[in-house]
A and B are shown apart, each in its own frame.
Chain A
Amino acid sequence: MNNTDSKKFSFNGKFQENQHINPLIIVEGLKKFYPVKGQVLGRNKPVIHAVDGVDLEIYEGETLGIVGESGCGKSTVGRQIVALERPTTGRILYRGEDISHMPVSKLRKIRTDLQMVFQDSTSSLNPRKQVYEILAAPMLYHKTVKKENIDNEIDRLLDLVGLPKAMKYRYPHEFSGGQRQRIGIAKALSLNPKVIVCDEPVSALDVSVQAQILNLLKELQEELKLTYVFIAHGLGAVRYISNRIAIMYLGRIVEIADTKELFENPVHPYTKALFDASPLPVPTLRDRKRIILKGEIPSAISPPQGCRFHTRCPYALESCTTNDPMLLPVKPGSSHKVACPVLLAKGENHD
């Protein structure tokens, strides 16, 4: 397996090896703590360790999936990547420029490149504005399109996301959930972005509509050469759309690999448990052997010492309670990295 650095993602989703390119986005030592609400007194105010040391590289044209359960920090990473928030420590480089410490005036120019699609299309679209105004607002603010061309541009955007042009004078509540998500995507596309962070874009939708939106996102990526960060808790959708997947648990990445590799050879016990927990649409397999995790996700206010997963891990050793595991390649030079020294030491097959 090649090094991630020497890997280029073409737009049909396949890898073109041996072309050396730099990552489009580099996330370095990212930490984001939020103060706990309602705590006023006391010297050491408790903080939520939402993201606690994440390093990532995102390549042009790829889709990086980020998977994890609620509170694992996946959405927080997404918000830092589009510079909606500033990290507590660490930095985000976009095309080599540090966007996490950039003055707002300079950041404004870069923002058009970095857009976001939200899960809840009901609350991310202004209910008092017609679709026309919703889509026109970002273009007018950033002055990317001349006033007289806005009309054409909105028609083009609606066409891109598969909505009839006649719908532009309707209000968000007049649309179904799937259609609203299409408007959310059109809004993200209105500034011709390079990177779109999709934060659970299909989780709130019905199954048959989910497939429509996933296909739409894939088509748009090929057509417009977009780079996606796709955040989700459901493995099926992520597997379908991503080239690479990072699994997060309590503010850390525990495993990252190419999609095919991850699903064929998951190494980290949490990844395995996550796979086992995903229901399979095959009734004859319902009694299969699988890891059922005990207990719940520990609080992110005081995450466990050592490996954060050791409180629920079926393979945990004494050393896991003290040693903080690093994300290491499964084989030298491999882009498949795992933060579990116990299973890495055993080799890849340990069942």
Chain B
Amino acid sequence: MEPLLQVKDLTVAFIEDKRQTVVVDAANFTVNAGEILCIVGESGCGKSVTALSILGLLSPNARILNGQVIFEGRDLLSMTEKELDRIRGNEIAMIFQDVMNSLNPVFTIGNQLTEAIRIHMGYDKKSAKDYAVEILKKVGLPDAEAVMKKYPHMLSGGMQQRVMIAMALACKPKLIIADEPTTALDVTIQLQIMKLLADLQKEFKMSMILITHDIGLVAELADRVIIMYAGHFMEEASVYQIFEKPAHPYTRALLKSVPTIYGDLEKRLPSIPGTVPDRYQDIEGCRFYDRCPYKIPSCKEAQPYFKIGQNHYARCHRAGKGELPYE
């Protein structure tokens, strides 16, 4: 089956003082119909830029240097703004982390929601309103009629995020891109929103790209996982493969460094020494080299993706040759 979305050789750079800094380097991935793909990485690794490039939402100082984003056979990167507008919200919707800045503070929730519905679905005022109330109920806002009349600041963070999800779902998109949708929320609310997203994704048979740094969230939601580090995809596999048999040394170190609520208490938390290299664009070989416990001189040569198993790839020649057994 054709994948719903195919990203090919996507390379994005920021231009500053005429200097070009590549932040996403030849990214290749697909999103299949009905699956949740998690793109995981630490801040500055390029995960959000990857997501924003899909809908052409990058800031003005960013340039897409190369690549294609093929959605149902059409290349989104070669579309005009007008053509893109018909895709945005309608077929691909986005949920942002920072809800407060994504909702317009001077319009009521009802105003903003019905506007989107009328533009994209061609409903008249009355039926748009009824539909908006219905969709607000769907995302677990019991007093939907009252919420319609409220301004964003009158709602709690969790409710605002529900409104954002309602807005994203309103046009029944085929793909939702969620950029850290629960990071700003409290733990118990986070679980509510997470469950809601997962249930709705199944019900509406949507695909989802979930951008996050939260390893726990990945384990709870993802079907497939991409691990990003310093602008590179380091590993790609099913969620079970990633957690049971991580191949790349970075993935292994990342998973171990998360303090969890079970397991041995006395142990020192295994941290990754050092920091992400500053000008990682200039590094020829593996970008994790400096921090890697398994490095050998040949790691300084460019690292392609190696096949580890079925649908499991890692950018590490040692893992590819089976030189990194599990302890």
Interface residues, chain A, with chain B CB atoms under 8 Å away: 13, 69-70, 176-179, 206-212, 214-215, 218, 233-237, 239-240, 259-260, 263, 273-286, 292-294, 296-297
Contact = CB atoms under 8 A, between A and B. Distances in A.
B213 interface: yes
A176 B44 CA distance: 11
A283 B261 contact: no
A214 B261 contact: no
Given A207-B257, A236-B258, A281 B195 contact: no
A70, A207, A284, A286: most-surrounded residue (chain B CB, <10 A): A207
A277 B188 contact: yes
A278 B261 contact: yes
Contacts of B260: 236, 239, 280-281
Contacts of B271: 208-209, 211-212, 214-215
A239 B261 contact: yes
Contacts of A237: 259
A26 to B, nearest CB: 27
A296 B219 contact: no
Interface of B: 42-43, 156, 158-159, 186-192, 194-195, 213-222, 239-240, 243, 253-255, 257-262, 265-266, 268-273, 275
Contacts of A178: 275
A105 B300 CA distance: 61
A191 B202 CA distance: 56
A69 B269 CA distance: 24
A274 B42 contact: no
B259 A214 contact: yes
Contacts of A259: 265
Nearest to B271: A211
6 contacts: A69-B186, A206-B42, A234-B259, A279-B217, A283-B219, A283-B243
A207 B254 contact: yes
A214 B270 CA distance: 10
Nearest to B255: A281
B239 A280 contact: no
A277 B255 contact: no
Contact of B213 (A13, A206, A278): A206
Given A69-B186, A207-B213, A209-B275, A276 B191 contact: yes
Given A273-B188, A296-B156, A296-B189, A210 B219 contact: no
Contacts of A234: 187, 259
A234 B183 CA distance: 12
Contact of B261 (A176, A215, A263, A292): A263
A283 B240 contact: yes
Contacts of A210: 257, 259
A206 B42 CA distance: 6
B42 to A, nearest CB: 4
A281 B239 contact: no
Given A207-B254, A278-B261, A286-B219, 12 more contacts: A13-B266, A206-B43, A209-B42, A273-B188, A275-B261, A277-B188, A279-B191, A280-B216, A280-B261, A280-B262, A281-B218, A296-B159
B269 A240 contact: yes
A211, A234, A240: most-surrounded residue (chain B CB, <10 A): A211
A103 B47 CA distance: 52
Contacts of A296: 156, 158-159, 189
